[in-house]
Amino acid sequence: MLIAGKFCAALILGAALIFPLSARAGSCCGGGSGTALLLPSYYTSMIDMSVDVEKYNGLWNTRGEYIAQPGYHLWQYRLNLGLAQRLSPRWQTSIMVPYVWNYNGYPNSASRSNGIGDTTVNVWYEAVDDKSAWKIRSLKDMVPSVTIGASLLVPTGISPYDDVTSSFDITGRGFYRLDGNILISKTVNPWTTALSLAYGTYIERSVNREYGKYVEPYQKQLGDRASASLSLGYIYYIGTGGDKLTGTGSFSYLREADTTYNGVREPNSGFRKESFGASLAYASTDHDWSARLSWNHAVRQDGWGDNFPTTDIYTVGVSYGFR
């Protein structure tokens, strides 16, 4: 029960930035594998749908030691729906809403649950444009694009503080979180690279119920969260019509500080995860449609994480932009 509950909560949290924002934002076609939907400059709006399949492969303990757990078959499936809208030439907003299915299998038992997950609302400002040069001829050709933004995680999912009786039932964390984000990307065809950084703070809340049982009220705040992703991609142009196939490799880092109860820090309640990823995105000739496949892998060895599940995440997605 404890392992499954921690697994569900960790997946719901960690899925938010497993892949870099740049994988989607840095592509001119709008394709990629990030969870934040960013519009290319020539779009007024975009719709996006993706499916994640996440498989549990053991965990890291609080000392960073990897522990395999044969016989545990834990999966999470997510259907993500996104909508982005341009507000002005440099401002845009987006929303991402997941629907979550949990499956927890053990040697002698199994459970299933499903429900809406936590919603993310983003606001972005395109501070500097990237001209995507084919050849560096001057210093101007080396200037990257810079996009800054703010994200609000809204606890629309089922959390341990709702009327649930089991950790198997949760699909959200139960806390608001405000993030500051920055995305820096540069394309010198056919190569593209990007760096995304984010720092978030959870809003403290009062708790008087845990898994359906009322408890003495206390104040709880999850630890601040920091994440970073670095990616490098190669764009392959198909034929003479302008269709594109973009392959991207990435490294991601995610860390959350310890939780506090009534202002007192709970040791070893935070976590850390480092992972590698790969994605393949296809854009049609007119660039209005795009499709993508991605894979994220947590290394099953000591030292690559703390107090967190090791998982593989497989994603398939499609998006359509409106000019």
Residue 2 confidence class, pLDDT cut points 50, 70, 90: very low
Residue type, 106: Y
Per-position DSSP letters for 158-222, written without gaps between them = --TTSS-S-GGG--S-S--EEEEEEEEEEEETTEEEEEEEEEEEEPPEEEEEETTEEEEEEEEEP
pLDDT band at 10 (very low <50, low <70, confident <90, very high): low
Residue 163 has pLDDT above 90, yes or no: no
Q: Which letter, b or e, does each residue of 131-162 get, where b requires 16 or more Cβ atoms within 10 Å of its Cβ?
A: ebbeeeeeeeeeebbbbebebbbebbbbbbbb
Residues of the chain above pLDDT 90, percent:
67
pLDDT attached to residue 26: 32
pLDDT of res. 112: 87
Q: How many CB atoms lie within 10 A of CB 5?
A: 17
Taking CA atoms, 210 is separated from 66, 100, 268, in Å, by: 29, 21, 20
Using the structure block, give the residue that is written with the tokens 């994603």: 315
Residue 19 Ramachandran class (φ > 0 left, ψ -120 to 50 alpha, else beta): beta
Q: Is the dihedral of CA 151, 157, 158, 161 positive or negative?
A: positive
Question: Which among 292, 288, 317, 315 is positioned nearest to 39, based on CA atoms?
Answer: 288
Q: What domains, with CATH codes, occur in the chain?
A: 2-322 (2.40.128.130)
pLDDT tens per residue, range 11-52:
555 444 434 443 333 322 232 233 578 888 888 999 999 999
185: tokens are: 């990307």
**Span 60-112, pLDDT tens digits:** 999 999 999 888 888 999 999 999 999 999 999 999 999 999 998 877 778 88
Average pLDDT value over all residues in the chain: 86
The model's pLDDT over 188-198, given as tens digits with 9 standing for 90+, comes to 889 999 999 99
- pLDDT for the residue numbered 6: 53
Residue 266 in this model has a pLDDT that exceeds 70: yes
DSSP states of 204-267 as a string?
PEEEEEETTEEEEEEEEEPPPEEEEEEEEEEEEEETTTTEEEEEEEEEEEEEEPPPEETTEE-T
**Tell me: the pLDDT tens digits for 213-239?**
899 999 999 999 999 999 999 999 887
Kind and range of the H or E run holding 305: strand 305-306
Residue 5 has pLDDT above 60, yes or no: no
Higher pLDDT: 12 or 57? It is 57
User: What pLDDT shows up at residue 23?
Assistant: 35
Report how far residue 150's alpha carbon sits from residue 33's, in angstroms, rounded to the nearest whole number.
Answer: 19
DSSP code at position 286: T
Q: Are 24 and 46 within 8 A, CB to CB?
A: no
Is pLDDT larger for residue 126 or for residue 284?
A: 126
Instruction: Output the pLDDT for position 165.
Output: 78
Percent of the chain with pLDDT over 70: 87
* Other Cβ atoms closer than 10 A to 238: 12
Radius of gyration of the chain from Cα atoms? Answer: 20
CB atoms within 10 A of CB 119: 16
pLDDT of residue 106: 77
Which amino acid appears at position 70 of this protein? P
